[in-house]
Structure 1
Amino acid sequence: MPRIPCLLMICFLLLTLDDQAQRSATNETQRSTANDARVEMSLRDGWRFKFGPESATELQTEPDATWTTVSVPHTWNRAGYYKDAPASHINTAQNVVTTQGVGWYKLAFTPPANVSGMESFLQFDAASRIATVWLNGTLLGTHRGGFSRFRLDSTAALKPGRENTLTVKVDNTKPALGSSTADVLPLTGDFFVYGGLYRPVSLIFTKKMHLDLTDYGSSGVYAKTTSIASAGAQVQVRARVRNDSEQSGTLMLRTMLVDAQGKIAGQQEQTVTVAPASVAEGIANVAVTHPHLWQGVDDPYLYRLVVELSSKSSQLVDRVSVPFGIRQVRFDPNQGLFLNGKHVAVHGVGYHQDREGKGWASQPEDVAADEAMMREMGVTGIRLTHYQHGQPIHDLADRDGLVVWDEIPLVSQWTLGDHSEPTAALRENARQQLRELIAQDFNHPSVVTWSIGNEIDFGNGIPGFVGNNGGALPDPLPLLKELNQLAHELDPLRPTTLATCCEQHALAPGATVPITGAVTDLSGANRYFGWYYDKPSDLGPHLDSLHRTRPAQPMAVTEYGAGGAISLHSDNALGGAESRNRPQAEEYESYIHEQNWSTLQNKPYLWGTFLWNSFDFGSTTRSEGNAQDINTKGIVTFDHKHRKDPYFFYKANWTNTPTVHINSSLYTERAYRVADVRVYSNASKTSLKVNGKLIGVLADCPERICVWKNVVLVPGANKILASGTFAKGEVEDRTEWHLSEAAAKNTLIDCGALVAGASDEKHFGSDTFFEGGTAGSVSGPGGRGRAPAPVSIAHTSSPEVAATYRAGSFTYRVPAGDGKHPVVLTFVEPSLHPGERIFDVFANGQKVVADLDVAAAAGGPLTAYQRQFEVNARDGMVILEFRPTKGDAIVSAIEVQ
């Protein structure tokens, strides 16, 4: 077999590991003996890493000083950072590393001497995205795919009781024509592909005959519930027995289901004879009387499935033990998902596996914390996107009764350049990754569907931010149909699915969209009404239309939501222009979720809804909100610590946990002396106090949203207290908002702005107090995931304020003390010529500006122009009406002093 050059091997052998770590790992394994059925040795510590040369030959010249010592899980990448308050974040502009390419790992380790004569397998829980492995200079193999477990037979190359050198080349090069990864999925996507050995590595020792460890990373055991009745259930278990010896062997195969009390609930024994160097299968049909069913979050009861191989003398040869839930799932196209005949409301989230500071190299305790945070919010389902996730999240979902959507990384593209068909190698890689997904997650009761793709129906409207292919229009259907058939062959019981972006809603004008949703048993719709396009109210009719198109196909909504930053705030979520532009107010993210959920909860034909996303995640296609290279649609921040306001909206709606949450708590420096206070509460009665004064009590707030309008703040600190009445007592939330003396006296409105623009001289608030009109910006919309380029505006020291506007026929009702107030209006003509826009302005019924032609008065477009006048406020209000006579009226800023 191919070997690493001798000089490189000498270099490896000269490396010195930390002796204490090495002895600890060896001693831990020594406690197991060769008499044990199976021995596992963790290879966690003492690795050396270098990001560097393409080939092993080039690596020879690299001095030891250029390598660093690391522990596995490990990634060399760090992607995405928040731009504000860098000292409070882990990732910064200075420490991110988004370089993709080849990384090298090497480890010196000593396995115990008493495993001599056993089979050995190196197990990698994942390596991104191509891994090539040598042991003591012998090439063991290459694995192509960054998300699945794989094992390599290391028996011939291993030296028990002596120091061994393990070398791994890992390549996460960005796919391109002619690149090393051109045929490895995913080719693109709105997420960053980290490099490294980012999940655990271990060494497994078995007897010559054992449950198969070379079957696509599986346990070698496949179990499924074939029938359930009141008196009993039937569970079929298929076990693959491998014989790596040179002689035929016969073993006793014992299959058991053990209940939570340790009692055998059902079992079957049979003999299995396996020829030399081959695999034989044993199939057991285990009857369980009066089964305790896995009933989702209501009762996630788990048995333990135990499969044992024993010799004629009853000596244990091998053993696999995994949790198993007895359940049957049915999807109804009109009524949703049924688990063991009972309807289940699937309140779901999408989930990416990275986090700030760790990337993909998280620990099981990190995943457990994520899952606990989801459950606290009331999540009952998780869409594991857009690739195979590790075992920890699956085990937790089994334990806690969450239903899981599993997915392979066929995302957006399946060809490169102008190719109209995928290469044979890419098709095989897609098949391989689907085989691995199903083989490794087959036994999890939480997994209810296999997804064969995400958003591969862009057609020729694929956004440039994920890699436009130059206008070619390859057909995804042949590959999808091939994968769909394979999934059914591998698992006839679970339905297939995929997620679409564009059916009946192409994302580019005139785009041709392939209809992919009809390929699979189920379908999922990723739809962003009110964010990327249209209005939130358009979501319901669109979903109804999709349902009418294929009324017999169960459907889910698999993505919806909006971006949001906890440091960017709005006084009115409806005041902004082009919502997907930057900046992204936390309040607008809340608004989109409120509006979408109001629609989704009334669609009984949806078998599940999965908001996008549980956590902010790394994506080097984006520069938005307060972040660089982060997709900000999470309802929890990238460090997985701070819950954004929408999190509490769902907690109030999806759980019975007493919940009271004041929105905009982090909007501490207020722009206006009058504000609406919004509270998410599932209390029967919710009260609001400001500075100790009761503002009011609301009962059973619709959709758990309590709103107190026009609450007056005072200069200085304002203590906001919301309290909910529950059976076990009061639950409170409190925050403190500050109002400056200037904001108390002056109302400065940045018209058309969702988040107020910066001004050197004054503190503007975002657009509010308006009735009618639409918001706009002279900068125009930004690209998807990118900010618009700023436009130069003459004659202003506050270009960000001047750049947005409200247009149409509209009115502002500005709170103000009775008496005389100076008013300053700022106008900017975006593009029209003189004579094309003419309007009047009325103040409390009196015409104060007549026949204004902004382009003529300012001397042309993109030039600021101001008008000043005084108005007498009556009944605590200054009313400004903008009435067009030709075209639309327009205003960029209002100052009531």
Structure 2
Amino acid sequence: MVYKNARNALIGVSLIGLAISTVAASRENAPTVPSISDDQSQEAPQRQRIELSDGWQFNLVGPYGEDGELDSPQADEWQTVAVPHSWNRVGYYLSDPETHINTPENIDKTQGVGYYYTSFDAPQLDGGQRLYLEFDAVSRTAEVWLNGQYLGANRNPFGRFRLDATGLVAPGQANQLYVKVDNTQPAEGNSTADVLPMTGDFFVRGGIYRPVSLVVTEPVHFDMLDHGGPGVYAATTSLEGGNAEISLSGRITNSGASDAPVTIVASLLDDQGEVVGSWRDQAVIAPGTTSELEGSMHVSSPRLWAGLADPYLHTLRYELHAADGTVVDTIDQAFGIREMELDPERGFLLNGTPYRLVGAGFHQDTEASDWAVSREEVNESLRIMLDMGANSLRLSHYQHGSPVHELADRYGIVLWSEIGLVTAWTNARDQVEAPQGIVENARQQLLDLVHQNYNHASVAVWGIANEVDFGPGRPDFLGRPPEVVADPMPLLNELADLSRELDPHRAVVLANCCEDRGMVDVPVVAEAVDAVGANRYYGWYYGEPGQLGEHLDGLRLKHPDIPVSVSEYGAGAAPNMHTDNPLGGPIDMAGRTQPEEFLTWFHEENWRELADREYLWGIWLWNAFDFGTTVRSEGDAQDINTKGLVTYDRDIRKDAFYFYRAIWSDQPTVHVQGRRYVDRAYPVTDVRVNSNAPSTTLVVNGSELATLSDCDQNVCVWSDVALAGGENAIVARGNFAAGPVEDAIVWQLDEEQRDAFRIDSGAVVAASAQVQFGSDDFFVGGTAGSTDQRGGRGRQAVFAEIAGTDRRDIVSSFRQGDFSYRIPAANGRYHVTLTFVEPDQPVGARLFDVAANGDSVLSSYDIHQRAGGALIAITESFDIEVEGNMIDLAFSPVSGEALVSAVEVTPLR
């Protein structure tokens, strides 16, 4: 389909995809694909590739001269490393350090200059052959010396670059290679001032963190210096009447001294090796020049690349023939014929059919390897996302390496691929427009991104920016906001125009943060692109999840011709931190209190807003995995963004992972939530199970409870399930047509907790005490509050001094307003103790009544008067006879708001 203007109702996007290899890795219930060689490149016999991986020397401290004259390495000053390599290691979990690779002792957040050195034996170059140095990525900047001579540089931290080393290499001899790498944080006037990203909620590591190779070609070859791309390109321009039209081009370089008559031949092969389409052209390439030949081929009744259902890949073989018929260069690429479209009403269409994109944002780091990830680690990450049911990934917030693109092609994963323009595009507080250096760096990153990934079937859109619309409301943790906010539109318009020029077959997109969120001076950046993604955190940073849908509908009405997606939504969670009720008290969006159950609730409620809005062309939650950053101290982690559905080490799939697996995946899924909350606080609890079975049965301690079907959002809930003292076996059985699928966990209930309810009122995570309390639960109405001032984002928490108690942390929080507690206690006699702490009201300002099962126990109660002052704990106790398996404690205001700081109900045995 021919590309249509962004303001038309339909944006046509079609391209042939490249995928060359995968590593088949076993993962529970993950989709399987044919295993192929780990070798990512199918090099032509006319080319020779030599990987430079082992035996590198690295030095982070110097000193070295600025003129490129580098001393020979001394063994005691250098460490031996293998490439890929990064000198940075970022982010660690606070608990269970023995189970993790990263610890406070091995973390390295150094930013600055490092040097790499290696010696390699160069092959002989015969008949005018050329030798290129290929770096898949060096961050942030690279300067390269070969045999003491300056060879070249690169200032894109994320893209492949090649340098023609023919003139400096010593064939058949040992060669000395130095690489100066600089990941200094950009600032006005420094060495990386113009290298994007300027800021962001992730850390830009330093190092040669992707592979390095020598590549030898014949003197006439497909262009090696085309922005790191393959030099050959293809795009499906039409799928009509069951036939495909494919445009083709090849850039041919003649490094020889005389004219080179050549014939270019492109052959399309099916998986049986049969030719199903071809193109041939001839040209004479002048010496020392590069020429581009263009053509097309017709394919009858092609088998299409159809996402996860059928990621079928042909082989596209480009051959370059000399005048005598000799093949002087060959490039084989696996690719898929497909058509992608974005429609404001119908969403994303794959080969003319609506295809809902669902998935997650994805950063490239892992705890094991940081940025220097292997192909196997990338494969593991993708397999985990496939297991969750994702059919798409947003590659955030920079160009990712070849493995993820190649594997996505082969698995059928649709990609959003973007450059590193994040939040800021100036580096001085008074700049009113982007400096030319930053503009050029953004252009370079886009040129590299498109050329290197143009042929990938999986890539649907090119992203040119993320959250550049903060305006003066930019969060402090991303750096002090500028005095004058530059207008991003000139830069965005320039990048959008460049993207359309480079690739008229894919939509240009960006992700915004702030339009129509009530912020001041927010630029409407959606007008710069063909389709937009909305990063929205209703229920985490602001608002409630229920506001998300109406907000998206408003954006759609405001921009009826611009397809809308949700490019980020998420919340933080520590898998070892738990709550009995995710709404029991405040979470810390910038601090430590981030229970796993809140993440689950957040995603359930956000998905409720997203599920039926079919106009959304994609939905990407944030994030696939916890990832390293240096601006966060939250949950159970330091320098880790905890919004991942899977932990940094890929070891724990949080409960929210299985929420999506149960609604996105066709794989039989049964998962009992709360499996890591083993030591339970209450003898009665709800049991929640993610299940996509037609019906699901719960078995507790061998007794079968009710069987549920048609569960809301595939979340089955059994309310007020009684637990026994000691060990409790919880089994959920999904009753599938092919047979039952079960998930079993074990909870413990301490004898002290049997038949007792100790409630830390107003706390979403119960504080520690000599006897176990649960978080605030069983309440109806009211709001949570605290005597303490919360910290986070660099602010220290201030803890109130509370007299009259040895449970300060328990009673520092409270529930207030007009509320009640409905506690599902078994019939019998109980002792009830209520603890009160007046936070700030004088005598007479707060008066309330307390009733137990309708009987008054406290009348016009005044905490301040009874305790003798504010911030002094006071308790009141009474006994109650329970009939009907319920205690109803009603707190009714007389003047001001009712309040309670802790509720304890213990059986009288």
SS across alignment from 1:540:
helix
Conserved in 2, the CA contact under 8 Å of 1:748 and 1:896? Answer: yes
For residue 610 of structure 1, the aligned residue among 611, 620, 623 is: 620
For residue 449 of structure 2, the aligned residue among 432, 437, 462 is: 437
Partner of 1:9: none
Conserved in 1, the CA contact under 8 Å of 2:64 and 2:71? Answer: no
User: Is residue 42 from structure 1 mapped to residue 51 from structure 2 by the alignment?
Assistant: yes
Partner of 2:686: 676
For residue 515 of structure 2, the aligned residue among 491, 496, 503 is: 503
Conserved in 1, the CA contact under 8 Å of 2:363 and 2:627? Answer: yes
Conserved in 1, the CA contact under 8 Å of 2:587 and 2:593? Answer: no
Residue identity matched to 1:827: F
CA distance in 2, matches of 1:606, 1:786: 38
CA, structure 1 residues 436+748, in 2 after alignment: closer, same or farther (shift >3 Å)? same
Partner of 2:734: 724
CA distance in 2, matches of 1:259, 1:860: 84
Partner of 1:93: 104
CA distance in 1, matches of 2:466, 2:881: 59
Conserved in 2, the CA contact under 8 Å of 1:582 and 1:787? Answer: no
User: Per-residue deviation at 1:62?
Assistant: 7.1
Alignment map for 1:52-131 (pairs within 5 Å): 52-53=61-62, 55-56=64-65, 60=71, 63-113=74-124, 117-131=128-142
CA distance in 1, matches of 2:573, 2:124: 57
Partner of 2:718: 708
CA distance in 1, matches of 2:814, 2:286: 79
User: Is residue 743 from structure 1 mapped to residue 753 from structure 2 by the alignment?
Assistant: yes
User: Is residue 147 from structure 1 mapped to residue 158 from structure 2 by the alignment?
Assistant: yes
Alignment map for 1:615-694 (pairs within 5 Å): 615-694=625-704
Alignment map for 1:527-676 (pairs within 5 Å): 527-578=536-587, 580=589, 581-676=591-686
Partner of 1:890: 899
User: Per-residue deviation at 1:378?
Assistant: 1.0
Alignment map for 1:395-406 (pairs within 5 Å): 395-406=406-417
Greater relative contact order, per chain length (Cα 8 Å cut-off, separation 6+): 2
User: Per-residue deviation at 1:59?
Assistant: 6.2
For residue 479 of structure 1, the aligned residue among 472, 487, 491 is: 491
SS across alignment from 1:113:
coil
User: Per-residue deviation at 1:861?
Assistant: 4.1
SS across alignment from 1:436:
helix
Partner of 1:318: 329
Greater CA drift, 173-182 or 481-490: 173-182
Residue identity matched to 2:879: E
Alignment map for 1:779-794 (pairs within 5 Å): 779-780=788-789, 782-783=791-792, 788-794=797-803
User: Is residue 698 from structure 1 mapped to residue 718 from structure 2 by the alignment?
Assistant: no
CA distance in 1, matches of 2:486, 2:526: 16
Conserved in 2, the CA contact under 8 Å of 1:772 and 1:809? Answer: yes
TM-score of the superposition, structure 2-length normalised? 0.92
Conserved in 2, the CA contact under 8 Å of 1:622 and 1:785? Answer: no
SS across alignment from 1:398:
helix
For residue 173 of structure 1, the aligned residue among 140, 162, 184 is: 184
CA distance in 1, matches of 2:147, 2:517: 56
SS across alignment from 1:164:
strand
CA distance in 1, matches of 2:796, 2:47: 56
Partner of 2:35: none
Alignment map for 1:410-429 (pairs within 5 Å): 410-418=421-429, 419-429=431-441
For residue 451 of structure 1, the aligned residue among 443, 463, 467 is: 463
For residue 169 of structure 2, the aligned residue among 150, 158, 163 is: 158
Conserved in 2, the CA contact under 8 Å of 1:623 and 1:786? Answer: no
User: Is residue 867 from structure 1 mapped to residue 879 from structure 2 by the alignment?
Assistant: no
SS across alignment from 2:781:
strand
The gaps in structure 1 that reach 5 residues or longer are 1-28
CA distance in 1, matches of 2:491, 2:328: 42
SS across alignment from 1:95:
coil
CA distance in 2, matches of 1:858, 1:77: 55
Alignment map for 1:231-310 (pairs within 5 Å): 231-310=242-321
Conserved in 2, the CA contact under 8 Å of 1:844 and 1:872? Answer: no
Partner of 2:8: none
User: Per-residue deviation at 1:856?
Assistant: 4.3
Residue identity matched to 1:431: R
1:480-527 CA-to-partner distances (Å, cap 9, x unmatched) read: 111111111111111100001111115xxx532111112100000011
CA distance in 2, matches of 1:787, 1:354: 30
Conserved in 1, the CA contact under 8 Å of 2:693 and 2:734? Answer: yes
The gaps in structure 2 that reach 5 residues or longer are 1-38
User: Per-residue deviation at 1:276?
Assistant: 1.8
SS across alignment from 1:205:
strand
User: Per-residue deviation at 1:406?
Assistant: 0.6
CA, structure 1 residues 582+892, in 2 after alignment: closer, same or farther (shift >3 Å)? farther
Partner of 2:762: 752
CA distance in 2, matches of 1:688, 1:825: 35
User: Per-residue deviation at 1:790?
Assistant: 4.1
Partner of 1:818: 827
For residue 51 of structure 1, the aligned residue among 57, 60, 68 is: 60
Conserved in 2, the CA contact under 8 Å of 1:555 and 1:607? Answer: yes
Alignment map for 1:185-204 (pairs within 5 Å): 185-204=196-215
CA, structure 1 residues 718+165, in 2 after alignment: closer, same or farther (shift >3 Å)? same
CA distance in 1, matches of 2:838, 2:259: 87
Conserved in 2, the CA contact under 8 Å of 1:407 and 1:452? Answer: yes
SS across alignment from 2:526:
coil
- Superposed CA RMSD in Å reads 2.0
Conserved in 2, the CA contact under 8 Å of 1:496 and 1:520? Answer: yes
Residue identity matched to 2:424: Q
CA distance in 2, matches of 1:172, 1:778: 44
Report the number of matched residues: 862
CA distance in 1, matches of 2:883, 2:820: 16
1:31-67 CA-to-partner distances (Å, cap 9, x unmatched) read: x99x941111000111111112364469649742121
CA distance in 1, matches of 2:481, 2:242: 58
User: Per-residue deviation at 1:423?
Assistant: 1.2
CA, structure 1 residues 791+139, in 2 after alignment: closer, same or farther (shift >3 Å)? farther
1:219-260 CA-to-partner distances (Å, cap 9, x unmatched) read: 011111111123421111111111122322111111111111
User: Is residue 393 from structure 1 mapped to residue 366 from structure 2 by the alignment?
Assistant: no
CA distance in 1, matches of 2:126, 2:845: 88
Conserved in 2, the CA contact under 8 Å of 1:577 and 1:804? Answer: no
CA distance in 1, matches of 2:181, 2:884: 71
Conserved in 2, the CA contact under 8 Å of 1:115 and 1:160? Answer: no
Residue identity matched to 1:87: E
CA distance in 2, matches of 1:151, 1:61: 25
CA distance in 2, matches of 1:115, 1:77: 41
Conserved in 2, the CA contact under 8 Å of 1:624 and 1:785? Answer: no
Residue identity matched to 2:508: T
User: Is residue 349 from structure 1 mapped to residue 360 from structure 2 by the alignment?
Assistant: yes
SS across alignment from 1:651:
helix
CA distance in 2, matches of 1:663, 1:71: 42
CA, structure 1 residues 212+331, in 2 after alignment: closer, same or farther (shift >3 Å)? same
User: Per-residue deviation at 1:851?
Assistant: 2.4
For residue 359 of structure 1, the aligned residue among 370, 375, 381 is: 370
User: Per-residue deviation at 1:749?
Assistant: 0.6
1:200-229 CA-to-partner distances (Å, cap 9, x unmatched) read: 010111111111111110001111111112
Greater CA drift, 601-610 or 168-177: 168-177
CA distance in 2, matches of 1:306, 1:833: 83
